[in-house]
A and B are shown apart, each in its own frame.
Chain A
């Protein structure tokens, strides 16, 4: 019953099944409902672990492919599959959902509605990671939007409506751009040569076949690839969030309740990065290469800008939100270090680009573990004193020793301390940038100092110092056992990934090698327009 193929569908729809049964619970039975929802996330976690079992390590191509025709007249089919990239992200999402569910015991308002939306959100996320049909991918991408709007809107903080509508607006605008790109590629793939690959008339939404078409370079014209890439990149960059499109993140994080901002930071930001790796790059290799310098520049600016912004914040959660912007800048940086040598026209220093990609994937996983941890730590103190003003904290290490210890470890993971997960991602990405462009490499290395600056300053203001300066100090009680369990659940992967990063690299390396080679050949096959291909210094 649980073969590789059916497992993917099971993982997607188990949460919805649990959500459906939630309806029949009585409104008052809060505790059983929470346990039932927790059971849902635990089952999904086990299924994803089972999926790892099914995964054959050496092979980088798509595994467990299942394709059922859904809307035949438009060649749309319900197509799922996974490879090293999506597998690691699925396991991360299942884990973060499990931990956030544990942290949801603090929610008292409309518990049933909250849990149902929470589980539907999980379905949406899992669907995005498994979908291999562009239309199915878009449907799951937007399905995530509905529950997220309500989760922020109903259970959020004081300015929740503004934050919810802003989040909805940004993502919908991105979605519309992606829709246009979707249509462009649907009609673009209706040409006779495309017929050879897809085997049926009319356009195709199948991501694998579209990637093959892009790789031949003949079917999608360079102009279309550049236009397609810009549309897709903006659509995904809004989710990552990179520099110009990031202003929704601090509002959404500050207003969202703790478990939701844990999911927002842990999982939803990774969708942007995953989208770029799975769709934006393979579908328009030429566009990606032309925009590579701009991408790297945006990545570096995101790092520096995010770090400075974090330095300036007085709200603890907003500071952590900006740190996410800065950390996700590394992801974009790692993906885009694709240098083309004038002589051969092929990728120069391909190993460094592969290292950058692996670093970016690892950074996504590491940030996916450390940033929910950071938000949880902020949440623990917020649930007690109900304020987040950095200057009004202090002396917590005396009052809550265990909590401060754990928080210090998590924040040091965010800082990029060796031995913890943050370090590997950052350093590998920074090391790989030198091959691409020296100036940007130095600037991105500078980011390391800023990160240390704002995190240590925040730690000093919150945890060190003689005594607690903020309102109702009597509420500060040591960590409950549940919170401690969550703390340990987050710290253990931090340490494990930091000490032995091959947990991730074993899986992602083969798939990324395959991706890097297809992109490289895709770029070489595309006929360059008459202008001489100017390469970046």
Chain B
């Protein structure tokens, strides 16, 4: 077993460090003075790095499978469904594990499936240890494979998309220099790929991290990479402001993260997830075993106020809470909640959840491959990954907040997406909404469902971003949907792959059979968990109703996007002539991702992917938590979720069809002309100046309230949160102005005052020196007398 752990860690370490090596080489090689800016060498090198990374992670996955002789796919009792190969994509990993299925099941002791260890020790204070270590389980491997695969596709797409940077003199149309002309600068092809490699390094590091401190390190590194990538067009003021905004909002999230870290560090004394095997053979419990031990319950004291940490090992290696109070290491329950919320605060900042989501739409300033990789598939998903990884530490109250935050985010994201006109903004808001979904999934106890949706969303969202990228490239950087229309004939492949993506996200499926798009399976899993959850705690009914509603809205705005851009008459004739299909580098990945988006969740709950994810779910999640006793929220167990599958699935499907049909009527066929609705709601239009007026013929309750709410949500978003942010900034600047005045005025003032006063005193003393000798002599007599009187008066008595 030990050797397997090492092999796995080395393989994943290679996959992790390769992009860093790529970054270093690209930065140096390309900054060499004579490097010609036309060569695509940088792109090919980056693709090699991340591709090889993907190969390593799939080998690691294969090794891991063998090591645990594929218990992962045999865990579920009723055998495994039809032998559909998980993914047709042609690399050998898929083929490999297909034929292994029929190996005989041997019943020896359960193989070790979780491997943890240390790379090297950062610092050691007394018995507090901070180190870089790795934690490999099925979730890590799944994330590795997913991230490297999608990153490879996006890198290939980017070589095509960024081709225009391959020129020595790149004219940036959006930037106007003071003399009115456009800004000229040399192409920056290589710089883009170096940043992308650095990003992959940081993202993989985050996934591989073995302790929460290491997660925080790569958390910020990923934040910096998003800053660099958003602000790629450094000349555009809007780009650099968006980059600043993204970084500072992430930092606000990190502020919460640090507070969480502080509490954990002070009360638990360690950061590492797994148990640490000290050199002297002594085993130190990791966070999870301290908090949850082996059975998944918190060891609370009788009054339920403080939690006793399990720091002692009983006979067969299970961590128990020590009996004598003197040995006990305790943490108050409220502090544990605050720690959970703190870490979740970090996730909110990174995954653009409810209070801090304003930066993600602005982040669309970055080139589209960036939006595809960073702001849809990987980085924003890091928040959900961390919530998943840190799941055992979240107490039910925290899970409830996560659920509500997810729910609100999903709804707000979806409603704003309705009114968005920029194609990338629509996708950005839909990402926010889907992330809300994942958080909701985790919040309501569906650990597997949340992460399942994470993986599927990564596939189809990156697919859709890349399609929008190829559309934008096709229409010569035109992003506004009103100017497009009827592109189906001109860009067939992009249109069809986009349709696959749209259907996946809408969660369409052929009722009755189990053939469905990946979106359906993962969204169905979340809705099922939500339904089971609302059954157990009826007062939280909203946690099922709102997601259902959002599912409908999601399919509506996604199909609106598709019909609006690809069907109907081309609205801008001049633009229409120049539209052309993207070259193969761009359409190839689209096809690959389309296949992935369609089939990656084949088999739904008992498909390969879901089993893969849920294999290493935290202990005690499967059979749910009965909150009644401790009058907290109870979480649905696996069986409860299973029953509510069918009802939730059909409800979701219905909502999706309704949404699709409405958007078809409004945009596809054009039965109702959107223009006259705009006239009726002219005032609203003025109000939504930067949002294209929403035409809605049907006065159905569903549409009007959605519109009002959208307006309200957009308003909140624009006038409330941005305002809050701007007021903070203005307040900060005001305080700093006061601070500077105080600093120069008061403190410097005092010092100068002292200096000047002594100086003036000095000057005044000069005129005592009159120069008249007679006054001097009088002074002798006078001072003798005064001295005598003084001495006489102050003579120390007795």
Contact = CB atoms under 8 A, between A and B. Distances in A.
Interface string B16-37: 0000000000010001000000
B739 A309 contact: yes
A430 B244 contact: no
A395 interface: yes
Which of A312, A423, A433, A509 is most buried by chain B, counting CB atoms within 10 A of its CB? Answer: A312
Interface string B517-533: 00000000000000000
Contacts of A349: 266
Contact of A247 (B227, B739, B748): B748
A449 B255 contact: yes
A446 B736 CA distance: 15
Interface string A125-166: 000000000000000000000000000000000000000001
Contacts of B755: 169
A350 B178 contact: no
B239 to A, nearest CB: 8
Nearest to A350: B126
A123 interface: no
Q: Which of B125, B218, B252, B751 has the most CB of A within 10 A?
A: B125
A464 B235 contact: yes
A466 B235 CA distance: 4
B221 interface: yes
Contacts of B176: 466
B183 A501 contact: no
A355 B269 CA distance: 12
A395 B235 contact: yes
A244 B747 contact: yes
Contacts of B221: 417-419
Interface residue tally on B, bucketed by range: 35 or more
B244 A351 contact: no
Interface string A420-440: 000110011011011100000
B266 A505 contact: no
Interface in A497-522: 500-502, 505, 509, 513
Given A312-B739, A452-B251, A467 B183 contact: yes
B226 to A, nearest CB: 13
A305 interface: yes
Interface string B164-184: 000000000001111000010
A505 B252 contact: no
Interface string B205-217: 0000000000011
A324 interface: no
Contact of B244 (A395, A397, A456): A456
Given A355-B125, A430-B262, A467-B183, A398 B733 contact: no
A358 interface: yes
Contacts of A500: 120
Interface string B739-755: 11001100110010001
A465 B240 contact: yes
Nearest to B265: A431
A76 interface: no
B220 interface: yes
A435 B128 CA distance: 13
A349 B244 CA distance: 38
A431 B122 CA distance: 15
A442 interface: yes
A65 to B, nearest CB: 27
A505 B240 contact: no
Given A452-B247, A467-B177, A428 B737 contact: no
Contacts of B122: 424, 501-502
A153 B375 CA distance: 53
Interface string B121-143: 11111111010000000000000
Given A355-B128, A418-B221, A449 B252 contact: yes
A412 interface: yes
B734 to A, nearest CB: 10
A466 B124 contact: no
A402 B31 contact: yes
Interface residues of A, number: 60
B736 A412 contact: no
A352 interface: yes
A423 B123 contact: no
A412 B221 CA distance: 11
Contact of A430 (B258, B732, B747): B258
B397 to A, nearest CB: 20
Contacts of B737: 312
Contact of B178 (A309, A423, A433, A467): A467
Contact of A358 (B125, B220, B227, B237): B125
Contacts of A311: 732-733, 736
A433 B266 CA distance: 9
B591 to A, nearest CB: 37
A448 interface: yes
A252 to B, nearest CB: 13
A466 B183 contact: yes
A227 B258 CA distance: 37
Given A312-B737, A349-B266, A352-B266, A505 B248 contact: no
Nearest to A419: B221
A457 interface: yes
A466 B175 contact: yes
A444 to B, nearest CB: 9
Contacts of B736: 308-312
A351 B231 CA distance: 42
A452 B249 CA distance: 10
A453 interface: yes
B185 interface: yes
Given A419-B217, A453-B248, A464-B240, A509 B124 contact: yes
A393 to B, nearest CB: 13
A456 B248 contact: yes
B31 A446 contact: no
A352 B220 CA distance: 24
B513 to A, nearest CB: 49
Nearest to A505: B123
29 contacts: A166-B751, A169-B751, A244-B747, A308-B735, A311-B732, A312-B737, A312-B739, A351-B127, A352-B128, A355-B125, A355-B128, A395-B235, A398-B185, A405-B27, A418-B216, A418-B217, A419-B217, A427-B216, A431-B266, A446-B255, A448-B255, A448-B258, A449-B248, A452-B251, A453-B248, A460-B244, A464-B235, A466-B175, A467-B177
- List the 5 shortest-distance A-B pairs measured between CB atoms, nearest first: A312-B736, A351-B126, A418-B217, A434-B262, A311-B736
Interface of A: 166, 169, 244, 247, 305, 308-313, 349-352, 354-355, 358, 395, 397-398, 401-402, 405, 412, 417-419, 423-424, 427-428, 430-431, 433-435, 441-442, 445-446, 448-450, 452-453, 456-457, 460, 463-467, 500-502, 505, 509, 513
